[in-house]
Structure 1
């Protein structure tokens, strides 16, 4: 069936309130992302993670995150496997919530706790832009994030 014919059939079925057929070629296998966090200075608290889809205000995607997680710290590292994701572009924002208060503590806008982003963009006096942290998750993907401590 051609793409145009499939589109017409889908539109007609939707208009009639019928079940919409799914083209076999449009079904993608779920993707997964394994995130490893290194450079953690202490075992106190947890690592907080947010997986941000495009156009959600990265790095502070809050309620729009596709996934969030609190990762235990073991031997100076933390890791998680995020499975069942739709293939696409994402960015990861993490921070070391050393006092477990569920927020990144700052002093005059400077993070007091460790933080990091996918693709480990270099330090700048601003948060990284989407383009600096975006990763393509298609099939099985990996991201190793090194924490950065400023204060």
Structure 2
């Protein structure tokens, strides 16, 4: 099929406007307990995927080197919409969330600072991202 120049231009403009709607979400994480390892930041826009840890269905991801205090990273390519964010401080950088029975041995966190004592529901963690309202979250650690 041959496209006319006007139709081609309209399709190109449509593609540009869709691309322009994407933004990079800057995420700040406060209360990082110790230097070392990495912080995994996962964004979800689906309730079932978030609540069932379906990592293959996350919509954006960033791995940030962990330093004590606050760290910042960028979740790339998100459009305005509803998101729930999950954090994991992988202190030994082995890709696993270390547990001792039911008690986490590594840090965790969620958007809206939900889930300080138990994994939150999607509704507790979800927030509306407009493209410029970047979230700040707190890392949680179990008492030692």
After TM superposition, the score normalised by the length of structure 1 is: 0.75
Bigger shift: residues 27-36 or 57-66: 27-36
Task: Give ranges in structure 1 of 5+ residues lacking alignment.
Answer: 1-18
Which residue does the alignment assign to 1:134? 126
- Cα distance in 1, alignment partners of residues 68 and 140 from structure 2: 17
After TM superposition, the score normalised by the length of structure 2 is: 0.78
Which residue does the alignment assign to 1:107? 100
How far residue 84 of structure 1 moved from its aligned partner, in angstroms, is: 2.6
Which residue does the alignment assign to 2:4? none
How far residue 32 of structure 1 moved from its aligned partner, in angstroms, is: 3.3
Q: Which of the numbers 49, 61, 64 marks the counterpart of 1:57?
A: 49
For the pair shown, the structure with the greater C-alpha radius of gyration is 1
Which residue does the alignment assign to 1:48? 40
How far residue 34 of structure 1 moved from its aligned partner, in angstroms, is: 1.4
Aligned residues: 130
Tell me if the contact between 2:114 and 2:124 (Cα under 8 Å) persists in the aligned partners: yes
Q: How large is the Cα RMSD of the aligned pairs?
A: 2.3
Tell me if the contact between 1:120 and 1:145 (Cα under 8 Å) persists in the aligned partners: yes
**Which structure: greater strand fraction?**
2
Task: Give ranges in structure 2 of 5+ residues lacking alignment.
Answer: 1-7
SS in 2 for 1:50: strand
Which residue does the alignment assign to 1:76? 69
